[in-house]
Structure 1
Amino acid sequence: MSTFWIGTGWKMNKTVAETRRYIADLKARLPDDAGADYALFIIPPFTALAAAREAIGMAPVLLGAQNMHWADAGAYTGEISAVMLKEFDIDLVELGHSERREHFGETDATINLKVKAALRHGFRPLLCVGDSAEERAAGASGAAVVRQVKLAFAGLTKSEISRCLVAYEPIWAIGEGGVPASPEEARPVHVALHVALKELGAPSVPVLYGGSVNLDNAAALAGEQAIDGLFVGRAAWSADGFAALISRVMAARKAATSTPAKAMPAIG
């Protein structure tokens, strides 16, 4: 099996003490073979990164940050730079989340600057893209997220794009009142993203799905061949919830390897 990504972003939740407890509990619950064929990650708030790095230790869990500025230093009150994040030995950085775009004025242009800065400092960008309810109703979901990807990756080489991750997070599916996309709904958008990435010369970039992922739908989403991973919200904010979801996905994917595979949707 190719590497399947499973991660969670905590948003503005968890103290340092809560972070330590979460990671200790997660390590105790992880399946023994969780590090094989799977890339697991957590994205705590900035204040908990040091504690998270220490608590993770040698466990097969990658560490990410929720955002960063594009400049290495400067008069940007309240911002965090890549230089600062390097001290925590993070592996990836989440960029372009729809909440950042909506509430904090992030644009495609500033996200592009952040992606370039993350790559310059050796981080793997996790680019979040999503369609609005209006774009979905108009049948423009694929076009909307492909546009975001192309603008975020503008000016990058094929090699640089290949070091990135993309997370498709429908705006209408995230948050407390979000309704998750079914595998059938997510499939054409993921296929459109794969086509765009192939056109950009980076067909191997994983495309994750995020948006009200939970124990009930995780296995079905993971079974969709155009989906390369899951970016989980509140269902993974407890260690036992995240561990249970990981186990369910692993079991479903193992079962799938023992049955004839479905044809992968054409991606150009």
Structure 2
Amino acid sequence: MSRKPLIAGNWKMHLTIAESVELARLVATASEQLDDREVMIAPAYTALDAVAKTLKESNVHVGSQNVAYETEGAFTGEISPLMLKDIGVTMPIIGHSERRQLFNESDALINKRVTAALKNDLIPVFCIGETIEEREAGNTFSVLESQLKNGLAGINKEQAAGIVIAYEPVWAIGTGKTASTEQAQETHAFIRSSLSEMFDTSAAESIRILYGGSVKPDNVDALMAQNDIDGALVGGAALKAESFGRIVNFQ
């Protein structure tokens, strides 16, 4: 099955509204001739509305860096899926390693966020990944399998087909280290095999699996040449128009 690649930029806690709008314009320009892949950027919450308006006539999707598991109520500091949809967000990032590690988000909480996103017709970009200690102990696959099963608990195969998985080895995020193309492909293939067992082969073959972890202009082509790598979730290199533009235009 042909899966349309997705290049996503996670801007994390960077850029003012004016800086975000300018970068969004440049990303839109770099992406305007591309119809064989999709592009998404996830600005900080303060810039979401302005960026969404800037990109309204473009082919760039707007993502958010999280999403609440309820649509309204007494949840101070959270932003509901309905609020995100209201300003044009289509792809919330859920379960990023920084949310798991720095803010103690559990698989159960992440599962509630994924479920809420699907229920409200958003496309979850569901992140999984192992730490360096888990990799060195030989536990990479067991950790990923657990995160997949717990994070996608209660999701049926029809819903699963619309989810994006982002594999981010925690040890490669912002460190300059990158999994080798062989390591990345092996892990992506394992994830797809696990999804096939959880749902079915058809659903697994339709799910896009992105690689994240120090993706840069000089390694994106080799990563994207792998059979089971369907895109990238880019951090630091997404904050510069030149580097992200090159990644978006991978060969």
| TM-score (norm. length: structure 1) | 0.88
What residue is the counterpart of 1:241 in the other structure? 243
Residues 32 and 58, structure 2, Cα contact 8 Å, conserved in 1: no
Give the counterpart letter for 2:64 in structure 1: A
Give the counterpart letter for 1:224 in structure 2: Q
Counting matched residue pairs gives 246
Residues 31 and 39, structure 2, Cα contact 8 Å, conserved in 1: no
Q: 2: distance between equivalents of 1:28 and 1:166?
A: 26
Coordinate RMSD, CA, aligned: 1.3
SS of the residue 1:41 aligns to? strand
SS of the residue 1:90 aligns to? coil
Give the counterpart letter for 1:157 in structure 2: N
Structural mapping, 1:117-156, within 5 Å: 117-156=116-155
What residue is the counterpart of 2:107 in the other structure? 108
210, 215, 218: which one aligns with 2:217: 215
C-alpha distance after superposition, 1:206-262 (max 9, x if no partner): 111000000111111011111111111111211222112222x1xx2xxxxxxxxxx
Unaligned runs of 5+ in 1: 253-268
Structure with the bigger RCO (C-alpha within 8 Å, sep 6+) is 2
Give the counterpart letter for 2:37 in structure 1: Y
Give the counterpart letter for 2:191 in structure 1: L
Residues 211 and 233, structure 2, Cα contact 8 Å, conserved in 1: yes
C-alpha distance after superposition, 1:21-54 (max 9, x if no partner): 112222333362x1x2201110111111111111
Give the counterpart letter for 2:183 in structure 1: E
SS of the residue 2:149 aligns to? helix
Larger Rg: 1
What residue is the counterpart of 1:18 in the other structure? 19
Unaligned runs of 5+ in 2: none
Q: Which runs of 4+ in 1 moved over 4 A?
A: none
SS of the residue 2:121 aligns to? coil
Q: 2: distance between equivalents of 1:28 and 1:102?
A: 35
Give the counterpart letter for 1:7 in structure 2: A
SS of the residue 1:127 aligns to? strand
Give the C-alpha shift of residue 184 in structure 1: 0.8
What residue is the counterpart of 1:165 in the other structure? 164
Give the counterpart letter for 1:194 in structure 2: R
- % identical equivalent positions: 38
Q: 1: distance between equivalents of 2:125 and 2:177?
A: 22
Give the counterpart letter for 1:221 in structure 2: L
Q: 2: distance between equivalents of 1:173 and 1:63?
A: 25
Structural mapping, 1:34-49, within 5 Å: 34=34, 36-49=35-48
